[in-house]
C-alpha cells in the first residue's frame, strides 16, 4: 500500500503535469494571438503600401500626360519632321493656335468659349454635370472607354442633358493607341461603338491623347489624321489650358487664372480641362469660372458642327 508520502508525490506530479499543460496551452494561445495580430498588421501594411504604390503610379501617369500636353502646346509652333519625311503625298502643317490672327478677338467681338473635359467618366463627371446644370451651361466631354454602371450612366447623362460627347480613345494607353495605324483604328472603333451602344450617338468628334502634335506616336500622325478624315470625324485640340493636369496640383484659383488669362484673347476658345477622379480642384473651380466667363459677356457653348476648328497640326493636303 502506498503511504501518505507516495500519495503526496503523485498528487504533486499530477499538478505539475497539469501546470505544464496549462503553460503549453497558454503559450500556444499567446502564439496564435501574436500570429493573428502579426498577419493583420502585415495585411494592413501591404494594403497601405499598395495604395501608396498605386498613388505613385497614378502620379507618374499624370506627369507623363502633363509633359505630353505641354509638348503638344509647344509643338504646335514647329513642324513634325518625322511626319513630313514619312509621307510623300500628304504633309503635316503646324497651326500656331496661340497667335492665329483670324481668331484674335476685337473689343466688339462676342467671344465663344468651349469648355472641354478629358479622361472621364469618373465620380467627378457627376459633380461637373450638376454644376453645369445649375448654370444652364453646356460643355463637351471627350471620354475614355469604361463599362462599369456609373460610367455607363455618365455617358447617358452627358447626352441626355444636351452636352456634346466626343472620343478620347478607349484605353488612353499611349503605347497601345499609337503603336500603329491598325492599333489606332481598333481603339477608335472600340470607343465609337461603346458610345453608340449606350447613347445612340455615333460620335464624330475626337481628341488625340496628348494632342495632335504629340511626339510619342509610333504611327505617322498624318495617317491617323487622314483616317479620321475618311471617317468624317473632326478632331479638336485646345488653345486654352487650365493646366489642371500639371504634375504639381493646381488650386482652383490657379486653374481659373490660367483659363481667364487666355479666353479674353480669342474669338473661339477651346479650353482643356479634365474630369478624372483626381481633379477635385477643377470641380471646385468650375462655378466661379463660369461666373467669370459669363461676366465678361462671353458665350459658353458645346462643340458642334459649326465650331471653329482648333488644331495644333493638320494635313497640308487632303
C-alpha cell at 290: 463660369
| Domain residue spans of the chain | 67-315
Angle ∠(194,197,200) on CA atoms, nearest 5 = 120
- Exposed e or buried b per residue across 168-188, where buried means at least 16 C-beta atoms within 10 angstroms of its C-beta: bbbbbebeebbbbbebbeebb
Phi, psi of 115 (to 5 degrees): -80, 125
Which residue is listed with cell 501608396? 52
Which residue is listed with cell 503549453? 24
CB-facing half-sphere around the CA of 169: CA atoms within 13 A: 17
Burial environment of residue 76 by CB neighbours within 10 A (0 to 12, 13 to 18, 19 or more): buried
**pLDDT tens for each residue of 235-251:** 999 999 999 988 788 99
Of the candidates 240, 313, 262, 237, the residue with the CA atom closest to the CA atom of residue 76: 313
CATH number of this structure's domain 67-315: 3.20.20.370
Helix boundaries (H) for the chain: 4-75, 81-86, 123-134, 149-160, 174-177, 181-199, 221-230, 252-263, 280-295
What whole-number distance in Å separates Cα of residue 151 and Cα of residue 134?
A: 21
C-alpha cell at 253: 484659383
Pseudo-torsion of CA 85, 88, 89, 95, nearest 10°?
Answer: 10
**pLDDT tens for each residue of 79-126:** 444 443 344 445 678 888 888 899 999 988 999 999 999 999 999 999
**pLDDT tens for each residue of 191-225:** 999 999 999 999 999 999 999 999 999 999 999 99
Res. 190: pLDDT tops 90? yes
Question: In angstroms, what CA-CA distances link 217 with 26, 48, 96, 199, 273?
Answer: 66, 35, 20, 30, 22
* Region 294-317 average pLDDT: 94
Which residue is listed with cell 497601345? 176
Q: Is residue 238 a contact partner of residue 68, using CB atoms and an 8 Å limit? A: no
pLDDT band, residue 65 (cuts 50/70/90): low
pLDDT band, residue 45 (cuts 50/70/90): confident
pLDDT band, residue 137 (cuts 50/70/90): very high
pLDDT at 75: 47
The neighbouring-strand residues paired with 280 are none
151 vs 31 pLDDT, higher one: 151
Pseudo-torsion of CA 53, 55, 60, 61, nearest 10°?
Answer: 120
Strands 313-315 and 92-94: antiparallel
Cα maximum dimension of the chain: 125
What whole-number distance in Å separates Cα of residue 46 and Cα of residue 225?
A: 45
* Region 164-182 average pLDDT: 98
pLDDT at 317: 55
pLDDT at 2: 52
* Region 245-264 average pLDDT: 94
Which residue is listed with cell 490657379? 254
3 vs 252 pLDDT, higher one: 252
Res. 265: pLDDT tops 90? yes
Q: Which of 23-32, 255-264, 286-295, 303-312 has the lowest mean pLDDT?
A: 23-32
Angle ∠(209,214,220) on CA atoms, nearest 5 = 100
What whole-number distance in Å separates Cα of residue 274 and Cα of residue 243?
A: 9
| Average pLDDT score, the chain | 86
Res. 41: pLDDT tops 90? no
Q: Which helix (H) or strand (E) holds 93?
A: strand 92-94
233 vs 100 pLDDT, higher one: 233
Of the candidates 129, 138, 197, 206, the residue with the CA atom closest to the CA atom of residue 172: 206
Amino acid at each position: 500500500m502506498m503511504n501518505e508520502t507516495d500519495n503526496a508525490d503523485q498528487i504533486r506530479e499530477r499538478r505539475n503535469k497539469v501546470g505544464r499543460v496549462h503553460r503549453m496551452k497558454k503559450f500556444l494561445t499567446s502564439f496564435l494571438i501574436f500570429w493573428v495580430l502579426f498577419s493583420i498588421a502585415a495585411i494592413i501594411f501591404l494594403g497601405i503600401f499598395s495604395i501608396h504604390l498605386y498613388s505613385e503610379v497614378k502620379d507618374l501617369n499624370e506627369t507623363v500626360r502633363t509633359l505630353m500636353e505641354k509638348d503638344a502646346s509647344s509643338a504646335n509652333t514647329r513642324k513634325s519632321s518625322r511626319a513630313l519625311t514619312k509621307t510623300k503625298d500628304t504633309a503635316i502643317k503646324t497651326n500656331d493656335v496661340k497667335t492665329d490672327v483670324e481668331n484674335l478677338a476685337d473689343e466688339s467681338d462676342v467671344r465663344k468659349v468651349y469648355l472641354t473635359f478629358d479622361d472621364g467618366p469618373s465620380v467627378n463627371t457627376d459633380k461637373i454635370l450638376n454644376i453645369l446644370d445649375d448654370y444652364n451651361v453646356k460643355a463637351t466631354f471627350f471620354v475614355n472607354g469604361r463599362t462599369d454602371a456609373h460610367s455607363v450612366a455618365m455617358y447617358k447623362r452627358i447626352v441626355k442633358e444636351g452636352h456634346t460627347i466626343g472620343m478620347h480613345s478607349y484605353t488612353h494607353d499611349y503605347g497601345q493607341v499609337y503603336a500603329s495605324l491598325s492599333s489606332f483604328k481598333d481603339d477608335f472603333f472600340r470607343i465609337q461603338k461603346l458610345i453608340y451602344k449606350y447613347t445612340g450617338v455615333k460620335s464624330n468628334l475626337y481628341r488625340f491623347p496628348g494632342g495632335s502634335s504629340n511626339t510619342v506616336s509610333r504611327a505617322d500622325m498624318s495617317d491617323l489624321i487622314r483616317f479620321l478624315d475618311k471617317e468624317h470625324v473632326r478632331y479638336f485640340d485646345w488653345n486654352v489650358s487650365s493646366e489642371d493636369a500639371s504634375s504639381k496640383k493646381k488650386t482652383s484659383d490657379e486653374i481659373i487664372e490660367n483659363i481667364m488669362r487666355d479666353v479674353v484673347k480669342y474669338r473661339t476658345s477651346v479650353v482643356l480641362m479634365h474630369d478624372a477622379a483626381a481633379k477635385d480642384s477643377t470641380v471646385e473651380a468650375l462655378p466661379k469660372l463660369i461666373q467669370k466667363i459669363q461676366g465678361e459677356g462671353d458665350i459658353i457653348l458645346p462643340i458642334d458642327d459649326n465650331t471653329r476648328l482648333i488644331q495644333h497640326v493638320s494635313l497640308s493636303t487632303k
